[in-house]
Amino acid sequence: MTFQQLWQLRARFARRLSVMYGREVPAYTTLVDVSAAVNEDHLARHGADAERLGSIDRVTAERHGAIRVGSPRELAQVARVFAAFGMHPVGFYDLRDASASSVPVVSTAFRPTDPEELARNPFRVFTSMLAADDPRFFDRELQRQLEEFIGHRTLFPQELLDLADRAAEHGGLAEPDAERLLDLATGSFELSAEPVDHAWYRRLEAVSAVAADIGGVPTTHINHLTPRVLDIDDLYARMEALGIAMIDEIQGPPRWDGPDVLLRQTSFRALAEDRVFRFEDGTVGPGALRVRFGEVEQRGVALTPAGRDLYDRMVAETDRRLAAGEGRGVRVDVARTVWEENLPRTEKELAVQGLAYFTYALDRDALARAGESVPGPGVSLEVLIEAGVAVPQPIVYEDFLPRSAAGIFRSNLTDEGFRDDAQRGTDYDLTVLSDVVGRPVADPHDLYRRQQDASVARLREELAAVAAR
Ligand code: OOG
Ligand code: NI
């Protein structure tokens, strides 16, 4: 039987989840269809330029998922499952303070980390863990009950964990084990028909709808699967035209006529879904929950720490102007003005100023033209970029934005929930999360920088080879 490498398993896993989620949430299928049409039209209008941030095949196949688990033990287990698909934890997101509403989770994203692996299939899953030990959300009694409830459930069967460990160890699995792994992994994220304890669910919901979705049910499920588009404004307009009410605004950077940076996202609330409840009087019967939604994203270039600082300052400046009553309260309009005042208008300028990550291709014609004006081996990258000798190619942002994530969580909640800010929150960071998952959580900047550095080193070798002739 053919051996399935990790990336092949990953691609099959992404497709399986997509088919399952499309059955569960039919609006997702509409979203995928509209996304594909948006991408085709964008390509037709812009030609090869449209593929600067990824080939049309990759972009159209691309998805991210979101799941939520309840405890360190469950997070460590899901890390083992994702490792079988070549997906590793990257980045730390603290959503507990990222918005006014009650979102008691800390998160990371599981994704391929090698550029070649990303190119083969970039499937990633934003994964949140309930911070059940945070006293701002849960008093001592509720913490104890949560831990007990979550401690008693099994999200991932032992057979799945064993197969996953084997796949990770051997770099893949042969059939029929590969198929078994996919069945068990996909099944773990399927919406369960098991009855939900009504009183327990509602009790958690009073604190936070997110807490109820995680800790109020006996299993986990895909919260959303997100296709990627090349023009999110077009997507937004087409979905509204189809009568699907989107959230008020596109999250993240505004539309403007300079380079797209980081990540723009928007979403719509899914319809209420039928679930089975066990009511207080012991009867079991139908009910409805409304916790899942549709989301779509557009990705731009990854920003360096200096670029990210600038981004954060622009976001703060946008908030300040909005609070001062500018732009008639329309965030994206105010943001566009702030962008135009602060962010370079070209990728080349972003590169020269060291604000974004790029790989660099050597332009031999430009090198010949530049001649003596490009001095020897020690020449700085900036000079090479300015002279057109080093041609920047954007490195796509593969990660997430905490504020947008909190905005996405919040825009799909019916009420704000509860957070007692007089209490001290529990400390979580990248190191704590690494301990929890039992493997290092990568800092996204290290990954982008490594890719950029490798490309610059190759460029310098090519330059040296030319000079030696
Ligand atoms: C995750 C919300 C964050 C994103 O794309 O930023 C997210 C969730 O709702 O579980 O998916
Ligand atoms: Ni998402």
Ligand 1 near 223 CB (within 6 A): yes
- For residue 155, pLDDT over 70 is answered with yes
Ligand 1 near 265 CB (within 6 A): yes
Are 69 and 194 in the same domain? yes
Has residue 353 been placed in a domain? Answer: no
Q: How far is CA 447 from CA 100, 240, 302, in A?
A: 32, 37, 11
Residue in 144, 154, 291, 268 with CA at minimum distance from that of residue 213: 291
Are 320 and 379 in the same domain? no
Are 325 and 385 in the same domain? no
Section 371-392 average pLDDT:
85
- Cα distance between residue 123 and residue 113, in whole Å: 11
Q: Which two tokens stand for residue 204?
A: 């958690």
pLDDT above 70 as % of the chain: 98
List the residue whose alpha carbon is closest to atom 4 of ligand 1. 405
Question: pLDDT tens for residues 270-286?
Answer: 678 888 999 999 999 99
Question: pLDDT tens for residues 395-407?
Answer: 999 999 988 888 7
pLDDT score, position 430: 95
Are 172 and 259 in the same domain? yes
Question: pLDDT tens for residues 140-152?
Answer: 999 999 999 999 9
Q: Which of 332-341, 351-360, 371-380, 423-432 has the lowest mean pLDDT?
A: 371-380
- Cα distance between residue 49 and residue 32, in whole Å: 23
The answer, as to whether pTM is greater than 0.75, is: yes
List the residue whose alpha carbon is closest to atom 5 of ligand 1. 405
The CATH number linked to 226 is: 3.10.180.80
Q: How many CA atoms lie within 13 A of 169 on its CB side?
A: 6
pLDDT score, position 375: 66
Question: Based on the number of CB atoms within 10 Å of its own CB, is 81 exposed (0-12), middle (13-18) or buried (19 or more)?
Answer: buried
Ligand 1 atom with the smallest distance to the CA of 128 is 10
Are 267 and 340 in the same domain? no
List the residue whose alpha carbon is closest to atom 2 of ligand 1. 405
What is the whole-number distance in angstroms between the Cα of residue 66 and the centre of ligand 1? 6
Ligand 1 near 269 CB (within 6 A): no
Cβ atoms of residues 133 and 427 within 8 Å: no
Confidence class of residue 414 from pLDDT cuts 50, 70 and 90? low
Ligand 1 near 405 CB (within 6 A): yes
Cβ atoms of residues 318 and 236 within 8 Å: no
Has residue 433 been placed in a domain? Answer: yes
Residue in 262, 328, 334 with CA at minimum distance from that of residue 299: 262
Has residue 350 been placed in a domain? Answer: no
Q: What is the average pLDDT score of the chain?
A: 92
List the residue whose alpha carbon is closest to atom 6 of ligand 1. 405
Residue whose pair of structure tokens reads 């008639």 in the numeric block: 328
Range of the domain at 315: 303-345
List the residue whose alpha carbon is closest to atom 11 of ligand 1. 66
Ligand 1 near 455 CB (within 6 A): no
pLDDT score, position 224: 92
- Cα distance between residue 16 and residue 403, in whole Å: 30
Number of domains in the chain: 3
pLDDT score, position 27: 86
